[in-house]
């Protein structure tokens, strides 16, 4: 009888442990007692297009026609998955911290990249977005890549 009782207790303890580990999974990560959330972003271009990077998507490639217009990219919204279903507007006031850094590189992996201010001519570009230190208390360091190929000419 004691053996059966100890087997039942062992099974119950194993189930409790498995439920505890299952509850810790999902979109949240615990680090040093602080919850870290997965982040999704929306990147807008000055041409009006918006590119969404849901959790798990770190790279996108697009091809656009050259129009002569300057193309500027910035993060306009982000979402802390597991914290809220709402998209948060990224405030670009000079008095508030930036949650994301955007840099533009011209070139390819084979030829090398040169840093540029914005996209103004045909060619291949890499728009890199990185989490800034101002948001790192809520998310892990993250980097996204938007490969932009500007085709044609006037």
pLDDT digits (tens, 9 = 90+) for 96-151: 557 899 999 999 888 888 999 889 999 999 999 998 887 878 888 899 999 999 99
Q: How many CA atoms lie within 13 A of 123 on its CB side?
A: 19
pLDDT at residue 89, rounded to an integer: 87
Sign of CA dihedral 11, 13, 19, 24: negative
For residue 19, how many other CB atoms are within 10 A of its CB?
9
Which residues lie below 8 Å from residue 123, measured CB to CB, with a gap of 6+?
Answer: 106, 107, 149, 150
- 2: tokens are 């004691």
Torsional class of 112: left (φ above 0), alpha (ψ -120 to 50), beta (otherwise) = left
Alpha helix ranges (H) inside the chain:
2-24
> What is the per-residue pLDDT across 51-91, written as a single tens digit (0 to 9) for each?
999 999 999 999 999 999 999 999 999 999 888 888 988 86
27 within 8 A of 37, measured Cβ to Cβ = yes
Counting Cα atoms < 13 Å in the Cβ hemisphere of 43 gives: 28
**Minimum mean pLDDT among 4-8, 35-39, 119-123: which range?**
4-8
**pTM recorded for the entire structure:** 0.73
Tell me the C-alpha distance between 50 and 56, whole Å: 18
Quick one: pLDDT at residue 49?
A: 94
How many CB atoms neighbour CB 92 within 10 A? 10
Q: Which runs of E-coded beta strand occur in the chain? A: 28-31, 34-45, 50-53, 59-65, 73-81, 88-89, 100-108, 112-116, 123-131, 143-151
pLDDT of residue 43 exceeding 90: yes
């Amino acid at each position: 009888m004691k053996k059966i009782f100890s087997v039942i207790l062992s099974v119950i303890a194993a189930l409790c442990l498995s439920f505890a580990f299952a509850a810790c999974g999902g979109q949240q990560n615990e680090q040093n007692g602080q919850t870290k959330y997965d982040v999704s972003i929306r990147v807008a271009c000055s041409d009006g297009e918006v590119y969404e990077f849901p959790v798990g998507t770190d790279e996108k490639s697009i091809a656009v026609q050259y129009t002569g217009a300057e193309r500027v990219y910035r993060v306009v919204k982000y979402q802390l998955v597991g914290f809220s279903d709402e998209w948060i507007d990224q405030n670009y006031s000079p008095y508030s911290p930036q949650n994301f850094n955007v840099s533009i590189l011209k070139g390819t992996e084979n030829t090398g990249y040169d840093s540029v201010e914005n996209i103004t001519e045909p060619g291949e570009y890499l728009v890199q977005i990185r989490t800034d230190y101002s948001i790192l208390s809520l998310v892990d360091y993250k980097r996204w890549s938007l490969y932009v190929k500007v085709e044609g000419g006037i």
